[in-house]
Amino acid sequence: MGKRVIPPSGDGDDDGTGPGGEVLPVNLREALEERYLAYALSTIMSRSLPDVRDGLKPVHRRLVYAMHQLRLDPAAGFKKCARVVGDVIGKYHPHGDVAVYDALVRLAQDFAARYPLVEGQGNFGNIDGDNPAAMRYTEARLTDVAVLILEGLDEDAVDFRPNYDGSEEEPAVLPGAFPNLLANGSSGIAVGMATSIPPHNAHEVCQAALKLIDAPETTVEELVEIVPGPDFPTGGIIVETKSSILESYRTGRGGFRVRARWAVEDLGRGTWHVVVTEIPYQVAKSRLIEKLADLINDKKVPLLEDVRDESTQDVRIVLVPKSRNVDPALMMESLFKLTELESRISLNMNVLSKGTVPGVLVLKDVIVQWLDHQKDVLVRRSQHRLEQIERRLEILGGLLVAYLNLDEVIHIIRTEDEPKPVLMERFSITDVQAQAILDMRLKNLRKLEEFEIRKEFDELSKEAEQIRALLGSDAKQWKVVSMAIRRVAAKYGPETPLGRRRSTFADAPEHDQAEIMEAMIEREPITVVVSDKGWVRTLKGHGNDLARLEFKQGDKLRIAFKAETTDKLLVFSTGGRIFTLEASKLPGGRGHGEPIRLQCDMDQDQDVLDVFVHVPGRRLLLISKQGKGFVVAESEVVAQTRKGKQVLNVATGDEARLCVEVPEGATQDRKSTRLNSSHIPLSRMPSSA
């Protein structure tokens, strides 16, 4: 039995002309909808989304198949990539050579593909983001992983279909004995949908598949215990919470935060520097270092003094701190916020089921559909083998008849003009058997040959019975599939260089956000200037001559105080609301500054009453025009949004009048009243304010 071929479908493309070439009227809206839908379906099914069964897009499948046709197996020699790309374009994939070569290069890059399908020879690019050499200079051949994906292709394991011009045949899907979709991941953008699947550890995926074979009712929660998360070729540390990872695999959508792996290297005498040995997936090292250098030049990372790239074969980025007293963890936290040392890898398991139906699958469904494909491949390969055995047994049966009646067979051949029909009638054999007898050579008439044929006949008969038993038992089929998966799991086990897990898991360290933000700001002395009309600006240093300041016409100096760029400023309005400003974000001293209203959401009927530096642990006395007031802890009035916090509620006709640090007592001359601060009511701000 030969390859099963999917017949080509009619194009059905209506170009708006009749049979004789005359122009026909076409509804423009219907024509656009029909053509755009055809384009969208073509993009989804033939370009951007991978097949859940073999984890490949059409261009990757055609590349691997073309290399298989060129016999570029791991034991064979390399061939020029230009030859491979030419075959792919000419026979299967009529697109640009640059796009095809880029796809080939990605399959060979060990920092892009977790389990490369192509072994490259020459310059295939690097983790810095450098481009590969031209395809006329590079060479390639398949890897053992690709051989597993192709295993059984010549045994009628999958359907074949005509290529784009009908001159060749190509596989609709590959057998895929390797769990390629999850192991290598995939990404692509189609029309109205996209896919993004990060790489995983093949051994863990195989173990999850074996678990589903033994217990089909296994839940996603149980599978996540086996497949805890992605395993990136560039390593890194996944700092996503377990609950978030579980939700991503349960829904098929989500993401993973990945951080660079770093360690403190002691240089002696109290000095040290940080060495980064792994960077997040799909981050170009050169671009990362360039960004770090820009941040240092712009003084946006005051804790970092220098960055050096000491990488050779392995990544080694050296980060030099400003001083030995810098907290390494705090410095790295600030860099994680500002650079791609921390990256978010999205998960969107949008794939083609059975090669035709796009949809988002959860982790369990992806593995189940791959297992179902493996079972289908096993059944088809078994049926193919059984048909081969039956054909061979038919021939062997005819040869055994000849050995049992050797003299008569020779007599018929020597005396009859047409011996085949005579042999068929005399010994009741088929046309195939009679032809086999006629094609037999004289040297095969020896006695030893008869024994070998009888032995082969018995062995094939036994194998045929085993295959029939296999095809008739669902349990035996799953047992064989399990054995094949166990072999893959062993080949890429955790003790092997390619199979060991590279990405690890950790919880992100807990740091006060204020400390992190402070670490990202250069600490410098400034003078904050507020005008009578509420305009604010900052002057560098503390020794400024305020008398020489210029203001807008009709405006003048109202408040001026010393601060630092890392300080928080509190703005108290006449409406009793307190706003929080970052000193580092205020406009500089050139010009007249900006209105404070642009820095926060202050109502038009309110005015700025006071501005001061926030001092944690201090208590404030707030008093309204009508004499109402209370004491509040300053740490409770710090606002996190532009809307501020309503601290002092004022009635109609009343307004806030005073905000001062709580004194030990309060006195007035003549008619004096002495109050102890403990007598003033203490207000506690609600946490949701």
Does the predicted model carry a pTM greater than 0.75? Answer: yes
* pLDDT tens string 58-69: 999 999 999 999
DSSP 606: -
| Per-residue confidence (pLDDT) for residue 11, from 0 to 100 | 42
What residues contact 450, with CB distance under 8 A and at least 6 apart?
400, 403
For residues 175 and 10, the model is more confident at: 175
- What are the respective helix, strand and coil percentages of the chain, to the nearest 5? 40, 20, 40
* pLDDT tens string 610-663: 899 988 888 888 888 888 888 888 888 888 888 888 888 888 878 888 888 886
* pLDDT tens string 404-433: 888 899 999 999 989 999 999 999 999 999
Q: Can you tell me the distance from the alpha carbon of 108 to that of 117, in angstroms, rounded to the nearest whole number? A: 6
- Percent with pLDDT over 90 in the chain: 55
DSSP 48: I
Q: Are 49 and 57 in contact, with CB atoms under 8 Å apart? A: yes
* pLDDT tens string 80-139: 999 999 999 999 999 899 999 999 999 999 999 999 999 999 999 999 999 999 999 999
> What average pLDDT does the segment 525-553 reach?
85
* pLDDT tens string 352-378: 988 788 889 999 999 999 999 999 999
| Per-residue confidence (pLDDT) for residue 533, from 0 to 100 | 86
For residues 191 and 269, the model is more confident at: 269
* pLDDT tens string 441-492: 877 777 667 888 899 999 999 999 999 999 999 999 999 999 999 999 999 9
- Report the chain's terminal Cα–Cα distance, integer Å: 77
Concerning whether 137 is annotated as a catalytic residue, the answer is yes
Q: Which of 36, 39, 137, 164 is catalytic?
A: 137
> What average pLDDT does the segment 188-201 reach?
88
> What average pLDDT does the segment 557-576 reach?
87
| Per-residue confidence (pLDDT) for residue 673, from 0 to 100 | 46
pLDDT band at residue 664, thresholds of 50, 70 and 90?
Answer: low
Average pLDDT of every residue of the chain? 87
| Per-residue confidence (pLDDT) for residue 283, from 0 to 100 | 95
Q: Are 159 and 6 in contact, with CB atoms under 8 Å apart? A: yes
Q: Can you tell me the distance from the alpha carbon of 586 to that of 6, in angstroms, rounded to the nearest whole number? A: 68
Q: Which two tokens stand for residue 515?
A: 């400390």
